[in-house]
Homo-oligomer: A and B are copies of this chain.
C-alpha cells in the first residue's frame, strides 16, 4: 500500500504551518480586539441540520458518515435489494461533516440561546469538508475563518466588519485590495422594477458568477433561466452603475431605496474612519440565498476570486425555529489568502527561522554537559536544541542548516576542559570562542 492522503486533501508541513498560523493569529488578534468571542462546533452535525440548507448542488457535496456497527439493521425490509443510493442514505447515515461554519453557528445560537448574551459577536476558525471535484487551489478539506454578530440590526456592525477586514488585510501586508459592498435590497428593488420578483433567485445566482464566467456568461445564464432579453439588458446596465444617486433616481419607490440609504450611511462612515478600500459595486450579488441586506466581497487585483465575503441575513436562525434574529458576518478564505501571500512573497521572513541554537553532539559526556546549557537557555525562553545522536559533524551541520538554526554551539571534551567553546553564526558564518556565561548573557 502506498501511503497517501485521500484525493483532494493534503498534509500541512511545518513550513506551511507557521505561515497558516500567521494568518490565523492575525485574524484572531483583530477579532479579539474588536470584542469577538471564539467558539468551536463539532466536525459532525446531525444530517437533518445540514441537509436542504445549501441547495441541491450543495447537498450533493456533503460528506455523510456511515452509522457505526450494524448500519444495515436500520434499513427497512425490502429497501436493500433494489435500493438506490439516494434513498438509502437516510437509513445508514445519521451524521455528516460540516459543509460551512454558518449553519452550525445558527444551530449553536438556537441551541444555546439561553446562555448567550446578545448581541453575540463570535468568531470561529475550523475546517469544513466538501466533496467537490478537486482542482488547483480547491480542496475537499479547507479552513474557514468566520466572524458574525447576531442579535443586532445596527449598521454599525457592518461598519465594524469593514474595519476588521481592512485591519486584517493590512496587517497581513496585502495591497491592491478592494472591498466591494452592495445590498440585496437594491437587487430586490431592481427585480421589483423589472417585474422579476419570482425570478429573483435566478438573477442572483447568475450575477454571482460574473467573476467566473464574465458578463457574456452571465447573459447566457440569464437566458437559460428564461429571463427576457430586455430585462437582461436592464439588469446588466444596472450592475454597471457606480453612483448611488443615479441608482436611486432609477429605482425610486422600490425596496432599493432602503438599501441605498444603508449603503450611503456605511460608505459615509467608512470615509470618516478612513477605510480607503471600501467601494460600492452594483454587480455584487452573492450566491447564498439567506442574505437579505448589505453584502460584502473582498478581492485582490493580483488574484482571481474573492478572499473574504459575507453579508447580512435577517433570519438564519429561523431555519431552526428561532425567528427575528438579524445577523451579519463575513468569512475569510484562509487558504486563498495563504496562496495570495505566498504568490506575492508577503510572509514575514522570521516565520521560517528555526531554533536559536543547536548544540552539536560529540558523545555522551559532551552531550550531557551541553544539555545543561540547553536547559538554562530554555528556562530563559530561548529555543535551543541538542542533536540527540553523536553522528558525524557534517550530518549535524546539515541538520542545523535545514532547520534554519541561527547559531551552532560546538562543545567537545577539550572545550569542556578549557571552559571555552566555539559558537558559529550560521547566517554570517562568523565564529567566536566564548564561555557558557557569555552564551547565556549574549542570547538572553
Q: Which residue of B lies closest to A29 (CB)?
A: B381
Residues of B within 8 A of A216 (CB): none
Q: Is A276 an interface residue (CB 8 A)?
A: no
A32 CA / B11 CA spacing, docked (Å) = 19
Known contacts A85-B70, A320-B1; is-contact A112 B13 (Cβ 8 Å): yes
Residues of B within 8 A of A60 (CB): 68-69
Q: Is A3 an interface residue (CB 8 A)?
A: yes
Q: Is A198 an interface residue (CB 8 A)?
A: no
From residue A162, how far is it (CB to closest CB) to chain B in Å?
Answer: 12
Q: Chain A 16-40, CB within 8 Å of chain B: the 1/0 string?
A: 0110010000000000111101111
Q: Is A443 an interface residue (CB 8 A)?
A: no
Q: Is A14 an interface residue (CB 8 A)?
A: yes
A242 CA / B97 CA spacing, docked (Å) = 49
Does A5 lie within 8 Å of B389, measured CB to CB? Answer: no
From residue A379, how far is it (CB to closest CB) to chain B in Å?
Answer: 9
Does B157 lie within 8 Å of A35, measured CB to CB? Answer: no
Residue with the greatest number of chain B CB neighbours at <10 A, chosen from A39, A157, A272: A39
Stretch at the interface among A42-50, A292-300, A329-337: A42-50
Stretch at the interface among A86-94, A176-184, A186-194, A232-240: A86-94
A167 CA / B381 CA spacing, docked (Å) = 12
Known contacts A43-B141, A80-B83, A403-B117; is-contact A154 B388 (Cβ 8 Å): yes
Q: Is A249 an interface residue (CB 8 A)?
A: no
Question: Which residues, 386 to 444 on A, are CB-close (under 8 Å) to B?
Answer: 386, 388-389, 398-399, 402-403
Residues of B within 8 A of A32 (CB): 383
Q: Is A349 an interface residue (CB 8 A)?
A: no
Known contacts A11-B112, A21-B38, A43-B43; is-contact A92 B117 (Cβ 8 Å): no
Does B33 lie within 8 Å of A383, measured CB to CB? Answer: yes
Stretch at the interface among A201-209, A281-289, A306-314, A367-375: A367-375
Stretch at the interface among A103-111, A220-228, A252-260, A340-348: A103-111
Instruction: Identify A368's interface contact among B86, B122, B269, CB under 8 A.
Output: B269
Known contacts A64-B66, A119-B389, A383-B32; is-contact A71 B85 (Cβ 8 Å): yes
Q: Is A41 an interface residue (CB 8 A)?
A: yes
Q: Is A277 an interface residue (CB 8 A)?
A: no
From residue A67, how far is it (CB to closest CB) to chain B in Å?
Answer: 9
From residue A392, how far is it (CB to closest CB) to chain B in Å?
Answer: 14
Instruction: Identify A85's interface contact among B45, B69, B384, CB under 8 A.
Output: B69
Residues of B within 8 A of A69 (CB): 60, 85, 131
Instruction: Identify A49's interface contact among B3, B112, B159, CB under 8 A.
Output: B3
Does B112 lie within 8 Å of A85, measured CB to CB? Answer: no
Residues of B within 8 A of A131 (CB): 68-69
Does B63 lie within 8 Å of A65, measured CB to CB? Answer: yes
Instruction: Identify A40's interface contact among B3, B17, B39, CB under 8 A.
Output: B17
Does A84 lie within 8 Å of B72, measured CB to CB? Answer: yes
Residues of B within 8 A of A94 (CB): 6
Q: Is A9 an interface residue (CB 8 A)?
A: yes
From residue A84, how far is it (CB to closest CB) to chain B in Å?
Answer: 7
Residues of B within 8 A of A1 (CB): 48-49, 320-321
Instruction: Identify A141's interface contact among B44, B154, B389, CB under 8 A.
Output: B44
Instruction: Identify A63's interface contact among B17, B68, B89, B269, CB under 8 A.
Output: B68
Does A384 lie within 8 Å of B42, measured CB to CB? Answer: no
Residues of B within 8 A of A3 (CB): 49, 107, 110-111, 320-321
Q: Which 10 A-B pairs have the closest CB atoms?
A: A14-B37, A9-B42, A154-B388, A35-B385, A68-B131, A117-B402, A81-B81, A12-B40, A64-B66, A3-B320
